Structures are given as structure tokens and as C-alpha cells.
């Protein structure tokens, strides 16, 4: 196995190429906003996001190499570094902040957080996440090269190293983006067909359906059959076992937390009143279980971090330059002061310092976890839940209760969540840079720039989406934020149905005993089945490629699978961006509604049209994956 002693980067330390240029900075910032907005929309719909590093790298190669005729792998690397920062910050923010909007909707006495508050909270978390990762680079990236795989970081480096194919690969991403954008506009803009199709199953007193949208199928393809099938299994357990049982045994009874008879609720009413609390318990338990299982890794990481803290090589080269230690300390102190002075987080200097200490702890955990299992399996939700449990209990014990205490807990959790997400992304990007021979200093500055622009943009994206569809609604369920809201309300002594939550915990424990991954199943149980079903379809399509026998060799099979990943990434970005555009149209008033209402065709092709369009979408994924691989 290659280690740090035998490793040589693709671009030697003594070779200078264009890297931190105006072109790479501007393009990176544009992608940070675009992928941040797209992932915010995706996360608010299905409770999960996808890494933007590889699609950002491919798009940058297409633009820089093909359109601008520039040839520098280091420029491409800076673009993906800045671009992926937007996705990570958005992921941390959308898992918590929407809870504040939902509380404001429930009470007229509560106001939504201001644009400035959202931006500052997100900025503090993003900057701290980057700064905390810098002193860990030597210990995790350099010293453990060949030990920690960093899956996404290594894969992104492979894409960059295949630079001569960049133009062709970028066409696949752009094709997915364009087709998904058009599809999304036809479905949810023009409303030619319903984007959600459902069937009632009367014998079981439940229903089945699926959202026939590009992003969900794309997520399933990227995750693969194993993860998508676990999610779908959770959906089947909820909608074909638990809902029918509640409906059959509950009959005409009125059982809290519902206020109406169970027989009158229907499948979605039972999900809203009962099943989502069971799912919330399962997700919370799954996050905490994953955190507990990571404890040996946590201890090992801290011991390595302490030993390698501030360690420098005897001779500094271009590929070892980093942000100077005094700048890191100054940046952290400024962030401590900002946390202390932000009205939305009513903590003193000691409280702000504790947030930073917890933040460094989870940044270290996150950085090592993504090195082992990748960003997709990083237990950020478990870290956020643990933070919320501790911070809410402390606030309640010190007399900060009610909405003020709950809002403070969410803001504290937001900072920690963003720190963990950003630290994980930064470590992946620094791994990519280490392989290709980038300058760490420029990457770290790029991460900070991406965090700043994404922090400014995320508030606007949230206001747009909330004004168009409202967080917590059927169109925008914000599952992770809804879960965090339930956790905080429960600790503060609200009307949380603990019996249902504990049932969910029990289900999570059974899943863990069976040796299955808890979180995917729990998320499938928590989400409506019409979200996990199309994800499962995407996973089945990838499985088809991986098992198909007609490929001439393994390289051809891998090429088809990889192109499917790129096309799926483009689909996710395309739907997300059009989702934000539709939110803008929904916010513009017009006669008898909004501009979006004026172009609404009322689903004229019906459920049949939805099925046909979704089949055509799946066929497009098949076509763009196989077309070039067969040449």
C-alpha cells in the first residue's frame, strides 16, 4: 500500500501552475451558490444531500478546458474546492434552521429569523469548520495517507487526473442538468402532470405512491441499491405494516396526538399523527447509535490530533503551505465574539467558548469519519441530536425556557452541525489536493470564500422556499429540521408523544441487532413512502448496470456506472435550481395568486402522464449512461 514516504503528488511541489486565479475563484463561487441552493432544496425534500465535489470538478473541466481553453488541473481543483463548500454549508443549515420558521408559523407571537441572523450563524459555523480542520491536515491527510481512504476525495482526484476526458464527462453532467430542469419545470411549473402519483390500497387501509421527479431517482442511483433498498424497506414497514395496524386496531377511536378519529385520518393523516413520531425515534436512536459505535475512532482521532497539532515538516514547500497558526487563533477568537454577540444565541463568553470546544470536538470526529466511511455515512445528524439534547437541557436548567430557549438551542445546534459538515468537506477537498499536488493554503482560503458566499446565499434560498411552499408542508417536509424541532420540544417539556418515540427507538435497536444499517431504514420509516420509492427505482437502475452481462469488460461496466453517477448529479442540480426558480415565481404576485399560478395547467394528463414521463426519465438515465461506454 502506498504511504506518505513513497507518495508523490501528480504536480510536484517545485512546479508552479495557474491555481488561485480570478477565473477559478469566480467559477467556484458561482458553483458554490448553485450547488448550495440545489442541495438545500433536495435536503428539505428528502432529508439528505449529495456531495458536489465530483460534479463541480467535471463542470469546471468542461468550462475551463473546453470553453476557456485553459489547461491547469490546479485551477480545476480550486473550483471544486470552493464549489463543494456551498453544498456542505447548506447541508448543515437546512437540518436545523427551518425549525425556527416552523415555530413562527405555529405562533403569531414568534417572528422568523432575519436574513442577517441566518447569514451570521451560517458564516460562523462555516468559518469555524474550515479553521478547525487546518491543524488536523498533517495528522489525517499526510501522516495517514494510505490508511484513511477518504472515498469522495480520492474519487474526485481521479476525475481531475482524467482531465483529457473532462469535456466529454461535463456533457453528461450538463445533459442531466438540462433534462431534469426541463422535466421539473413541466411537472411543477406548468403542472402538465402531477409530480406525486398515489394509489389507495383499501384492504390495508393505506396507500402507495411515488414522486416522479429527477432528483429522487438520481439520489437512488448515486446511493446504490443497498442503501436505497434499506430506505424503501423502512417505507414498506411504515406504510404496509404500521399504518394498517394503527388503522385496523384504532378504528373510530380518537387517540392522542391526533384530535380526530383514526378512521377519518387516512394514510397520510396516520403518518402525520403517529408514524412520523415513531420514525423520529428511530432516526434519533440511529444517529446516537452510530455516534456510540464511532467512539473508538473518536478517541484515536483526538490522540492523533493532539500529537500532530501544529506539527510542520522540516522544510516548507508549496504543497505544505497552510494558513498560519496566528491567523487560525485570531479567526476562532473573532467567531467566539460573534457567537457571544449574536442576539439569536443568548450565551455569555463562557457559553460561546463551550460552543467552540464542542465544535472542535465534532470537527475532529467528522474529519476522521469521512476519511473512513465517506461523507454520505458521516453521522452529522447524530452529532446534531447530541448537541441539541445537551444544549437544550443546559438552557432549561439555567432558566432559558419557552421559545427563547428552544430557538437558542436550535441556533447552537446549527453552528455545530455546520462545523461538522464543513470540516468533513474540507478534509475531503484537502485529500484531493494532496493527491493532485495543490497548495493547501489556497484551498483553505477557497473553502473560506465558499463558506462566506454560501452563508450569504442560504438565507435568501430559505426565505424563497418557505414563502413558496412552507417548511414542514407536504411539498417541503424538511424532515431533518422537523426531527430537530421534535427533539428540542421534547426536552423543553412540550407535548411530545414519548410512547411513539420510544417505539421508534425499539425498532432501531431491532435493526441494529439484525446487523443492518439503522439510519437508512429509519429515514425510510420517517419519510413518506412516495419519497423512498423513486429512490429505490434509481438504486435498481444502478444495480442493473453493475450486474449487466452485455458489457465487454469491467472497464466498460465501470464507465457506464460512472457516467450514470455524473448524469444523476446533473439531474439533482437541475431539479434543485429549477425548484429555487419556481420558488421565485411563486413569490411574485399576480392576478388571483402568483406568476406560478398563471402558468399552471392543472395536471391535465393525470396520473398516467406522470407514469409515462417518469419512465422516459429513467430511459434517459439508461441512454446517457450506456451511449458513450459502448464506443
In this predicted model, what pLDDT tens digit does every residue of 182-206 receive, in sequence order? 998 998 888 888 888 888 888 888 8
pLDDT for residue 630:
45
Average pLDDT, integer, range 602-621: 89
pLDDT for residue 239:
95
Decide: 137 and 430 in contact? Cβ < 8 Å.
yes
Average pLDDT, integer, range 307-329: 73
> Using alpha carbons only, what angle is made at residue 322 by residues 316 and 328, rounded to the nearest 5 degrees?
135
pLDDT for residue 422:
92
Kindly report which listed range (132-141, 145-154, 159-168) carries the lowest average pLDDT score: 159-168
pLDDT for residue 277:
82
pLDDT for residue 236:
95
pLDDT for residue 130:
94
The DSSP line for 287-338 is HHHHHHHTHHHHHHHHHHHHHHTT---SS--GGG----HHHHHHHHHHHHHH
Q: Which residue has the higher pLDDT, 344 or 595?
A: 595
Kindly report which listed range (325-329, 573-577, 617-621) carries the lowest average pLDDT score: 573-577
The yes-or-no verdict on residue 365 having pLDDT over 80 is no
Identify the CA nearest to 220 among candidates 629, 518, 614.
Answer: 614
**Per the structure block, which three cell numbers stand in for 99?**
425549525
Distance of alpha carbon 315 from the chain centroid: 39
Reduced to 3 states, what is the DSSP secondary structure of residue 197? strand
- Read off the pLDDT band of 372 (50, 70, 90): low
Average pLDDT, integer, range 603-622: 90
pLDDT for residue 169:
72
The yes-or-no verdict on residue 179 having pLDDT over 90 is yes
pLDDT for residue 188:
85
> End-to-end distance of the chain based on CA atoms, in angstroms?
33
The yes-or-no verdict on residue 244 having pLDDT over 90 is yes
**Per the structure block, which three cell numbers stand in for 577?**
435550481
Percent of the chain with pLDDT over 70: 88
CA atoms within 13 A on the CB side of 39: 31
Average pLDDT, integer, range 151-164: 71
- Nearest-angstrom CA–CA distance, 311 and 322: 12
Cβ-in-10-Å burial (0-12, 13-18, 19+) of 143 comes to middle
pLDDT for residue 50:
66
pLDDT for residue 523:
79
Kindly report which listed range (21-25, 59-63, 290-294) carries the lowest average pLDDT score: 290-294
Average pLDDT, integer, range 257-266: 84
pLDDT for residue 229:
92
pLDDT for residue 356:
84
- Read off the pLDDT band of 407 (50, 70, 90): confident
Interhelix angle 606-626/554-587, rounded to 10 degrees, is: 140
The yes-or-no verdict on residue 254 having pLDDT over 80 is yes
pLDDT for residue 164:
45
Q: Mean pLDDT over all residues of the chain?
A: 82
pLDDT for residue 196:
85
pLDDT for residue 291:
65
pLDDT for residue 162:
65
Q: Which of 76-80, 282-286, 526-530, 614-618 has the highest mean pLDDT?
A: 614-618
The yes-or-no verdict on residue 631 having pLDDT over 50 is no
- Read off the pLDDT band of 29 (50, 70, 90): very high
The yes-or-no verdict on residue 617 having pLDDT over 90 is yes
Average pLDDT, integer, range 458-483: 85
Q: Which residue has the higher pLDDT, 17 or 579?
A: 17
Contacts of 97 (CB under 8 A, 6+ apart): 113, 118, 121, 122, 410, 414, 462, 481
Q: Which of 105-114, 220-229, 530-539 has the highest mean pLDDT?
A: 530-539
Cβ-in-10-Å burial (0-12, 13-18, 19+) of 596 comes to buried
Kindly report which listed range (261-265, 300-304, 612-616) carries the lowest average pLDDT score: 300-304
Question: So where are the chain's domains?
Answer: 1-631
3-state secondary structure 232-265: HHHHHHHHHHHHHHHHHHHCCCCCCCCCCCHHHC
**Per the structure block, which three cell numbers stand in for 167?**
469535456
Kindly report which listed range (305-309, 605-609, 618-622) carries the lowest average pLDDT score: 305-309
Average pLDDT, integer, range 370-384: 65
Percent of the chain with pLDDT over 90: 17
- Nearest-angstrom CA–CA distance, 426 and 439: 14
Q: Which of 63-72, 120-129, 271-280, 401-410 has the highest mean pLDDT?
A: 120-129
Average pLDDT, integer, range 304-325: 68
- Read off the pLDDT band of 628 (50, 70, 90): low
pLDDT for residue 1:
46
**How many angstroms separate the Cα of 92 from the Cα of each of 211, 380, 384, 549, 606?**
25, 8, 9, 41, 37
The yes-or-no verdict on residue 614 having pLDDT over 50 is yes
The yes-or-no verdict on residue 166 having pLDDT over 60 is no
Identify the CA nearest to 128 among candidates 338, 293, 386, 326.
Answer: 338
pLDDT for residue 629:
45
Task: Give this prediction's pTM.
Answer: 0.75
- Read off the pLDDT band of 549 (50, 70, 90): low
pLDDT for residue 444:
94
The yes-or-no verdict on residue 9 having pLDDT over 90 is no
The yes-or-no verdict on residue 315 having pLDDT over 70 is no
Dmax over CA atoms of the chain, in Å, equals 77
**Per the structure block, which three cell numbers stand in for 535?**
429512490
- Read off the pLDDT band of 533 (50, 70, 90): very high
Average pLDDT, integer, range 107-122: 83
pLDDT per residue over 559-598, tens digit each? Answer: 788 788 888 878 877 887 787 788 778 767 777 677 877 8
The DSSP line for 110-163 is --PPPHHHHHHHHHHHHHHHHHHHGGGHIIIIITTTTTS--HHHHHHHHHHHTG
The yes-or-no verdict on residue 513 having pLDDT over 70 is yes
Amino acid at each position: 500500500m502506498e504511504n506518505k514516504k513513497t507518495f508523490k503528488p501528480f504536480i510536484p511541489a517545485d512546479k508552479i501552475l495557474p491555481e488561485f486565479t480570478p477565473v477559478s475563484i469566480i467559477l467556484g463561487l458561482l458553483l458554490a451558490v448553485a450547488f448550495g441552493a440545489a442541495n438545500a432544496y433536495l435536503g428539505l425534500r428528502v432529508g439528505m444531500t449529495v456531495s458536489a465535489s465530483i460534479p463541480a470538478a467535471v463542470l469546471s473541466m468542461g468550462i475551463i478546458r473546453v470553453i476557456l481553453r485553459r489547461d491547469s488541473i490546479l485551477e480545476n481543483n480550486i473550483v471544486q474546492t470552493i464549489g463543494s463548500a456551498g453544498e456542505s454549508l447548506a447541508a448543515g443549515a437546512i437540518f436545523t434552521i427551518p425549525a425556527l420558521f416552523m415555530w413562527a408559523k405555529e405562533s403569531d407571537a414568534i417572528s422568523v429569523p432575519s436574513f442577517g441572523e441566518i447569514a451570521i450563524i451560517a458564516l460562523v459555523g462555516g468559518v469555524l469548520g474550515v479553521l478547525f480542520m487546518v491543524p488536523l491536515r498533517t495528522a489525517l491527510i499526510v501522516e495517514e495517507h494510505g490508511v484513511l481512504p477518504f472515498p469522495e476525495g480520492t474519487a474526485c482526484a481521479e476525475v481531475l487526473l482524467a482531465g483529457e476526458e473532462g469535456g466529454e464527462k461535463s456533457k453528461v453532467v450538463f445533459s442531466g442538468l438540462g433534462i431534469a430542469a426541463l422535466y421539473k419545470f413541466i411537472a411543477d411549473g406548468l403542472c402538465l402532470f402531477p409530480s406525486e402519483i398515489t394509489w389507495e390500497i383499501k384492504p390495508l387501509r393505506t396507500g402507495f405512491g411515488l414522486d416522479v421527479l429527477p432528483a429522487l431517482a438520481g439520489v437512488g442511483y448515486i446511493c446504490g441499491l443497498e442503501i436505497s433498498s434499506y430506505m424503501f424497506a423502512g417505507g414498506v414497514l411504515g406504510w404496509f405494516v404500521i399504518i394498517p395496524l394503527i388503522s385496523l386496531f384504532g378504528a373510530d377511536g380518537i387517540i392522542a396526538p391526533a384530535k380526530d378519529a383514526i378512521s377519518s385520518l387516512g394514510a397520510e393523516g396516520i403518518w402525520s399523527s403517529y408514524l412520523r413520531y415513531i420514525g423520529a425515534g428511530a432516526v434519533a436512536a440511529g444517529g446516537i447509535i452510530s455516534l456510540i459505535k464511532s467512539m473508538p475512532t473518536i478517541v484515536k482521532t483526538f490522540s492523533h490530533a493532539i500529537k500532530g497539532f501544529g506539527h510542520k515538516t522540516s522544510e516548507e514547500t508549496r504543497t505544505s503551505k497552510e494558513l498560519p497558526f496566528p491567523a487560525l487563533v485570531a479567526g476562532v477568537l473573532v467567531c467566539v465574539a460573534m457567537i457571544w454577540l449574536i442576539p439569536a444565541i443568548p450565551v455569555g463568553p463562557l457559553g460561546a467558548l463551550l460552543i467552540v470546544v464542542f465544535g472542535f470536538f465534532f470537527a475532529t470526529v467528522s474529519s476522521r469519519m469521512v476519511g473512513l466511511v465517506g461523507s454520505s455515512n458521516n453521522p452529522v445528524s447524530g452529532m446534531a441530536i447530541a448537541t441539541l439534547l445537551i444544549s437544550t437541557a443546559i438552557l432549561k436548567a439555567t432558566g432559558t425556557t419557552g421559545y427563547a430557549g428552544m430557538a437558542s438551542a436550535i441556533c447552537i445546534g446549527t453552528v455545530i452541525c455546520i462545523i461538522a459538515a464543513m470540516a468533513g468537506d474540507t478534509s475531503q477537498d484537502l485529500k484531493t489536493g494532496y493527491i493532485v499536488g495543490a497548495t493547501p493554503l489556497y484551498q483553505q482560503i477557497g473553502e473560506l470564500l465558499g463558506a462566506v458566499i454560501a452563508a450569504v446565499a442560504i438565507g435568501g434560498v430559505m426565505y424563497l422556499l418557505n414563502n413558496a411552499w412552507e417548511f414542514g408542508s407536504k411539498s417541503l417536509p424538511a424532515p431533518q429540521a422537523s426531527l430537530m424541532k421534535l427533539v428540542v420540544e421534547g426536552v423543553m417539556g412540550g407535548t411530545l408523544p414519548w410512547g411513539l418515540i420510544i417505539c421508534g427507538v425499539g425498532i432501531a435497536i431491532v435493526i441494529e441487532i439484525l446487523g443492518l444499517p439503522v439510519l437508512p431504514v429509519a429515514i425510510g420509516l420517517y419519510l413518506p413512502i412516495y419519497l423512498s420509492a423513486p429512490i429505490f427505482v434509481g438504486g435498481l437502475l444502478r444495480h442493473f448496470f453493475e450486474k449487466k452481462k452485455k458489457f465487454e469488460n469491467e472497464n466498460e461496466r465501470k464507465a457506464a456506472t460512472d457516467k450514470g453517477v455524473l448524469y444523476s448529479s446533473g439531474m439533482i442540480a437541475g431539479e434543485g435550481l429549477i425548484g429555487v426558480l419556481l420558488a421565485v415565481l411563486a413569490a411574485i404576485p399576480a392576478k388571483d395568486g402568483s406568476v406560478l399560478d398563471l402558468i399552471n395547467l392543472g395536471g391535465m394528463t393525470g396520473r398516467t402522464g406522470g407514469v409515462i414521463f417518469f419512465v422516459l426519465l429513467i430511459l434517459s438515465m439508461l441512454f446517457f449512461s450506456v451511449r458513450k461506454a459502448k464506443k
